[in-house]
Chains A and B, each alone.
Chain A
């Protein structure tokens, strides 16, 4: 655990005093310290292309009065810098009076260990794995023209100091291992990407030569795409595979259920609480408490313990995801969803691990029921327009379905749909829920945070597929 003041002219008493003084007429706020160490090691083009290590230290000071948020951050940790920030906050909130809302729930649960994954594996050992990946793939298949493999790891230590001197701390490890391969055959090039990760040491993910499985999966996806033909264009039935395709849920539904957009009434869901927004049998939760998952957090970035929040239960909208600010203004409680990319950013309500739970049908039944449609197995990125509710995502592995049978692979097409209505088009929910491999990063208002998704196979009655073949 970092001691944030030991190299500065600040004592804990000074800090407590400045925080309490600054926040005394406010409704909420805190001082957030963060110390992060991160590394990225990249093999590309047959070589170790870069090895970077980064260390970042700073604080963010936040004061809230009614709806107004004042924020100031700096990476100079000193009495002067902290006092300057305090002055800055007071100047924004000069004529405002509030009552400090102090209460914050406590937890003894921890969902990951206080480890530093960077130090747990030597650089030599990491370089060795990357070189093995490169050799393995290039020997395996002569169509392999480019291999990129990378390790990225970080340890982030945070401390939240609230008015009155209460301090909350967390140490968060996070790693990711990624392989990308490009194939070239008959003048055609295609790439395949696969990665794994979460909040444990590198070796937990790499035991039993698991890097080989990652290579195989990247290679498989690229090979499938080499044989792909142009995607169809127009409205049709879509079967989504289990696991990572749940970014559809994340984009289409998840963002629209974040507290801020609903308080501001800019989400297409803001007046639908308690209403039926999905087919029977559709239940969606956002869970920050799953052991060692990428989207899990022991406490959120305001100090609230995370939880398993039921968003949609059997088709009915039950809860939004809340941070403290939006919860207070909407007369509800924080769901432990207050997150920020780092100390340079304000807290926003965000997703953690967003999951659609299993139903009863099998994937086979779904495929068999489709005369003409597509079967989407994996996706690249997605995006949503919160206000109109329209969302898109890009297929990285997909197939045609003709007369109940899986046909040829098709080229990366964009799927587009309407968030508030898409879940009403879900006509079958599979019994095969799966978590994603631990690679998701969600972007909102310029801030990226690690997230997870999960879902079973599902059948959607009608979506627009953005191919080129009419």
Chain B
């Protein structure tokens, strides 16, 4: 069983009281416990079971404008005492920083409405095994599938966040995840692909046979890929990938990147950075949302935020420290975005496929080719060539490149948004990017 609120609160207040006693003027503490149980299958037999029980605490102590922090997984009072003493000593010799402070008291979260983020059902390992058996049966139906690996995880977490201004709150969350990776082989190639389902509630998971079938189909489609020539063509990004541009965007508008001047979107507030059909929203209070939060990592209430409206950048993601530096109030985004999404476009998925006679449809990218300072983007890609709306053949060993400043203005979105991840986008087309191939 995960530790209850009472236990976590008692540890948090022990830390708060001790740090104050030792000379801290302000303190913030987080104490959490998570228990995760995973079963892995491979080629229809049990491969691994893994149980993880993690306790963790982190404390930040302030003496005026001086600040230092420690973290530990050893929550014995005796150990905490040694660490907090060390933290206070370090704080004393750390230089002052005028922007160091706890969040404004009036921004702290007070009323909390239930978002249904915790499912108390517990799935025993034997039941996970049943699910995975059915999944792998479905996944290995085709003889070209030579390897299947699947996994089922139940995660339960509880935490308390507290500070010396009286904030003390926390809540339980659960996540159930099943995934399947399949490898297919033919005479000339070996390819891998995957599918997964991840939900706050057990009953909302995809059925095991659908999951296995989808993974296998996606893998089989990739067999015998070709390399295409270098070209400037329209690229459609599958929903798996389109969301990654939104993650990069979120990184570039974090108050730390803006304040430090290391973002290609610095000084772009209230300017047109996307075409005027684009709207981006961050919504923390989605029922059962994978990214839902009642408050941010500093205890500041999070409310729905329109980041981009009709292509115009309206807000940054602001925390307390960099907010002070930028002369902005925290909008409860310490720790980043919550449920971030691009609103639906006007055309259907099918219409998007037909919108150009020759399109590269990208289903996977590899590499870390995103530079948030310059906006330059260059990654390896695999996918399919689409001609006249029809998938013709799989493509690999190519790269795609462009610059976000330019790419963002050439986005066309389909109307197929779904909330599968914490960051979500519809299928996306971008014109005029460079494909490097043979």
Contact = CB atoms under 8 A, between A and B. Distances in A.
A412 interface: yes
Given A235-B437, A344-B52, A382-B367, 16 more contacts: A53-B69, A55-B72, A55-B79, A69-B49, A73-B52, A76-B53, A76-B55, A92-B125, A127-B94, A146-B262, A234-B438, A346-B48, A411-B374, A465-B436, A466-B400, A468-B402
A124 to B, nearest CB: 6
A282 interface: no
A418 B72 CA distance: 43
Contacts of A385: 192, 364, 366, 382
B195 to A, nearest CB: 16
Which applies to chain B's interface (DSSP): helix, strand, loop or mixed?
strand
Contacts of B401: 231, 233, 413-414, 466-468
B23 interface: no
B276 interface: no
B46 A414 contact: no
Given A189-B374, A393-B367, A73 B51 contact: yes
A127 B371 CA distance: 29
Contacts of B403: 468
22 contacts: A44-B260, A50-B68, A57-B72, A68-B47, A74-B52, A85-B51, A123-B93, A182-B262, A189-B261, A191-B373, A233-B399, A264-B42, A264-B147, A266-B183, A344-B54, A390-B366, A390-B397, A392-B367, A416-B367, A465-B436, A469-B434, A470-B434
B418 interface: no
A73 B438 CA distance: 48
A54 interface: yes
A333 B185 CA distance: 29
B51 A54 contact: no
Contacts of B232: 470
Contacts of A91: 125
A393 B149 CA distance: 27
A252 B278 CA distance: 39
Given A383-B368, A466-B380, A234 B436 contact: yes
B83 interface: yes
A327 interface: no
A412 B376 contact: yes
Contact of B368 (A233, A381, A411, A464): A381
Contacts of B373: 182, 189-191
A70 interface: yes
Contacts of B42: 67, 264
Interface of A: 7, 44-45, 47-58, 67-76, 81, 85, 88, 91-92, 123-124, 127, 145-146, 182, 184, 188-191, 231, 233-235, 264-266, 268, 344, 346, 380-388, 390-394, 411-418, 464-470
Contacts of B51: 71-73, 85, 88
A418 B42 CA distance: 26
B191 interface: yes
Contacts of B72: 54-57
B380 A392 contact: yes
Contact of B369 (A124, A146, A190, A392): A392
Contacts of B47: 67-69
B399 A464 contact: yes
B367 A387 contact: no
B309 interface: no
A24 B287 CA distance: 48
Contacts, number: 243
A444 to B, nearest CB: 14
A396 B192 CA distance: 29
B47 to A, nearest CB: 6
Range for the number of chain B residues in contact with chain A:
35 or more
B107 interface: no
A387 B190 contact: yes
B229 to A, nearest CB: 8
A51 to B, nearest CB: 5
B52 A388 contact: no
A19 to B, nearest CB: 17
B74 A55 contact: yes
Nearest to B46: A68
Interface of B: 42, 45-55, 67-74, 76, 78-79, 83, 86-87, 90, 93-95, 97, 125, 146-147, 149, 183, 189-192, 225, 230-232, 259-262, 264, 364, 366-369, 371, 373-374, 376, 378-380, 382, 396-403, 434-438
- Residue in B90, B364, B380, B435 with the greatest tally of chain A CB atoms within 10 Å: B380
B382 A390 contact: yes
A74 B53 contact: yes
B49 A71 contact: yes
A47 B53 contact: no
A67 B42 CA distance: 10
Nearest to A191: B373
Contacts of A57: 72-74
B230 A470 contact: yes
Contacts of B49: 68-71, 88, 92
A45 B378 CA distance: 28
B76 A388 contact: no
A438 to B, nearest CB: 20
A411 B369 CA distance: 11
- Cβ-closest 10 pairs across A and B: A466-B399, A392-B380, A392-B367, A233-B436, A387-B192, A381-B368, A92-B49, A75-B73, A414-B378, A72-B51
B348 to A, nearest CB: 31
A266 B73 contact: no
Contacts of B48: 68-71, 346
Contact of B192 (A73, A188, A388, A464): A388
A50 B183 CA distance: 45
Contact of A394 (B55, B78, B368): B368
A306 to B, nearest CB: 25
Contact of B380 (A52, A67, A71, A390): A390
A47 B369 CA distance: 29
Contacts of A145: 261
Given A74-B53, A394-B367, A127 B95 contact: yes
B367 A383 contact: yes
Contacts of A73: 51-53
Nearest to B95: A48
Given A56-B72, A190-B374, A466-B399, A51 B183 contact: no
Contact of B50 (A72, A268, A412): A72
A78 to B, nearest CB: 10
Nearest to B124: A91
Contact of A53 (B53, B87, B192): B87
Contacts of A413: 378, 399, 401
A265 B147 contact: yes
A45 B259 contact: yes
Contact of B73 (A52, A56, A346, A388): A56
Given A7-B78, A55-B74, A74-B53, A67 B45 contact: yes
Given A124-B93, A234-B436, A390-B397, A75 B192 contact: no
A324 to B, nearest CB: 15
A463 to B, nearest CB: 10
Contact of A233 (B149, B189, B264, B434): B434
